[in-house]
């Protein structure tokens, strides 16, 4: 005869409603938000957040007309040109400076090859 083990108590797997998922996703991917902090706050893994986002985006691609507006759509960053800037030699100063979240900064010099710049930007994505 076989042995049967009965576990009683709370279920280990948590269930999230669609409204909770959308609220957590919009919180995690809001401008300036840190996904890891949102995951810690809600006690979930970052893999789950990205799985929820992928499912939402896949559902949006399949049903574009009914896609919820929970996640912001990607937009181009505004470029600001300083008209009062003093011209300097290209070898000394970067041609482009990109300020990233959390105080990081990417400097691109004029001598950088397009492939190198593309690889750096792809790595930051």
Please report where in the chains the tokens 């041609």 appear, as a residue: 95
Please tell me the total number of residues recorded for the chain in this structure.
Answer: 125
Helices 35-42 and 18-28 pack at an angle, to 10 degrees, of 140
How many C-beta atoms surround the C-beta of residue 111 within 10 A? Answer: 9
Predicted pLDDT at 66: 52
- 95 — phi, psi (to 5°)? -80, -25
DSSP reduced 3-state for 96: strand
Predicted pLDDT at 67: 47
Q: Are 71 and 53 contacting, i.e. CB atoms less than 8 angstroms apart?
A: yes
How many C-beta atoms surround the C-beta of residue 85 within 10 A? Answer: 8
Predicted pLDDT at 72: 62
Tell me the pLDDT of the chain (125 aa) as tens digits: 677 766 666 666 788 889 999 999 999 988 888 999 999 999 899 999 999 999 988 887 666 545 455 556 667 777 777 777 666 565 677 778 888 777 778 888 888 888 888 888 787 76
Predicted pLDDT at 107: 84
């Amino acid at each position: 005869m076989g042995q049967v083990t009965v576990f009683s108590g709370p279920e280990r797997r948590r269930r999230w409603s669609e409204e909770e998922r959308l609220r957590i996703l919009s919180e995690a991917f809001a401008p300036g938000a840190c996904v890891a902090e949102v995951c810690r706050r809600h006690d979930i893994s970052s893999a789950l957040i990205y799985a929820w986002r992928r499912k939402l985006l896949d559902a949006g691609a399949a049903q574009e007309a009914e896609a919820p507006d929970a996640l912001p759509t990607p937009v181009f960053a505004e470029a600001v040109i300083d008209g009062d800037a003093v011209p300097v030699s290209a070898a000394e100063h970067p041609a482009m400076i990109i300020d990233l979240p959390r105080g990081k900064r990417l400097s691109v010099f004029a001598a950088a090859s397009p492939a190198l710049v593309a690889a750096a930007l792809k790595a930051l994505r």
